[in-house]
């Protein structure tokens, strides 16, 4: 699973840093916790540095991690994670066909709610409407989150909208470029797509067993990384913001907002999420074309219903409910 020898010590160390007030951990505390000499502590810190962590040493205060490497293993996700259950169990994979497939499998095997599968490389990424999802190895976020809400399957689309809102909030935390939502679940920057969300279900007729929420984010890719056919429609956070972004930090912010909104959703329903969603949505009040598998509909977007279904008003004033489509703004 891509982890290395000595990772148990590293995990313990990183755990200490992530729990430390102000981030400082003394050499003595490390030596006590790991049951090793001060020289060994120094060696472990050197190991961290070699692995790409920037560690500061301050007299009397101890060590502090200033920057972590741009990796997305369980360790980097854990360091600084502010959630109770989302992302508390991470299955990291170097290379997979699709994180959705693995998440579905472990969800079936009873993986706890909040478990995520994260991959450094995805070879056969899946998109909505049977499309494929391409992502650049090491420069993207490709992950699938397992939730187990006790609710009927018809409500699952609301979770997709909740995810889109959470990602927009997280993007606000890590970049200054505005992100907009294009119904139902694309996130755009300056009119180009940076995030795709794919929600899949394991359910009985009246009860969800698990929801697998797949998120694909173009983070640090540069223009040359995109295949010719998507260059005009896709972009990355780095291209739009001009900055390299630490993927683990972005993932943590997503988990933080998702957990908060998910708890709120379970307690108070979809209304508060709907209001946030509408405030971030690009198309509310605009004329759009919605293409479903069987028809094309033009009209003005009124908003979404309390169930998360798109409301479209045609030229004759008839209001249509659109459950699934591609829209052109």
Q: Which residues are at the interface with ligand BTN (CB under 6 A)?
A: 98-100, 122, 125-128, 131, 133, 142-144, 186, 196-198, 214-216
To ligand BTN, the closest distance from the beta carbon of 126 in angstroms equals 4
To ligand BTN, the closest distance from the beta carbon of 257 in angstroms equals 18
Sheet order of strands, 310-313 included: 319-322, 310-313, 296-304, 287-291, 326-328
Which of 144, 221 has the CB closer to ligand BTN? 144
Which of 48, 310 has the CB closer to ligand BTN? 310
To ligand BTN, the closest distance from the beta carbon of 30 in angstroms equals 36
Which of 27, 138 has the CB closer to ligand BTN? 138
Which of 54, 97 has the CB closer to ligand BTN? 97
Residue nearest to ligand BTN (CB): 196
To ligand BTN, the closest distance from the beta carbon of 74 in angstroms equals 17
Do strands 319-322 and 132-133 pair parallel, antiparallel, or not at all (unpaired)?
Answer: unpaired
To ligand BTN, the closest distance from the beta carbon of 236 in angstroms equals 14
Which of 75, 144 has the CB closer to ligand BTN? 144
């Amino acid at each position: 699973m891509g982890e290395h020898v000595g990772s148990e010590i590293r995990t313990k160390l990183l755990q200490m840093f992530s729990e430390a007030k102000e981030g400082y951990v003394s050499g003595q505390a490390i030596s006590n916790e790991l049951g090793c000499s001060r020289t060994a502590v120094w060696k472990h810190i050197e190991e961290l540095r070699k692995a790409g962590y920037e560690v500061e040493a301050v007299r009397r205060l101890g060590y502090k991690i200033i920057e972590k490497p741009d990796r997305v293993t369980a360790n980097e996700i854990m360091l600084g994670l502010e959630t109770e259950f989302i992302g508390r169990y991470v299955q990291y994979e170097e290379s997979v066909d699709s994180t959705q497939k693995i998440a579905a499998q472990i969800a079936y095997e009873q993986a706890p709610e909040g478990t995520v599968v994260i991959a450094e490389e995805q070879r056969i990424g899946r998109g909505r409407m049977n499309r494929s999802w391409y992502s650049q190895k090491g420069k993207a976020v490709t992950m699938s989150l397992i939730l187990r809400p006790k609710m009927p399957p018809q409500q699952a689309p609301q979770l997709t909208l909740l995810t889109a809102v959470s990602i927009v909030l997280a993007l606000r935390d890590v970049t200054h470029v505005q992100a907009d939502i294009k119904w139902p679940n694309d996130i755009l920057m300056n009119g180009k797509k940076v995030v795709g969300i794919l929600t899949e279900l394991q359910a009985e007729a009246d009860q969800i067993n698990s929801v697998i929420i797949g998120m694909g984010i173009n983070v640090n890719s540069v223009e040359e990384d995109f295949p010719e056919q998507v260059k005009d429609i896709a972009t990355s956070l780095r291209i739009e913001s001009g900055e390299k972004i630490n993927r683990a930090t972005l993932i943590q912010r997503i988990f933080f907002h998702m957990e908060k909104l998910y708890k709120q959703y379970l307690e108070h329903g979809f209304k508060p999420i709907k209001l946030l969603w509408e405030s971030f949505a690009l198309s509310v009040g605009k004329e759009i074309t919605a293409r479903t598998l069987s028809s094309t509909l033009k009209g003005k977007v009124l908003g979404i219903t309390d169930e998360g279904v798109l409301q479209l008003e045609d030229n004759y004033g008839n209001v249509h409910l659109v459950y699934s489509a591609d829209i052109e703004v």
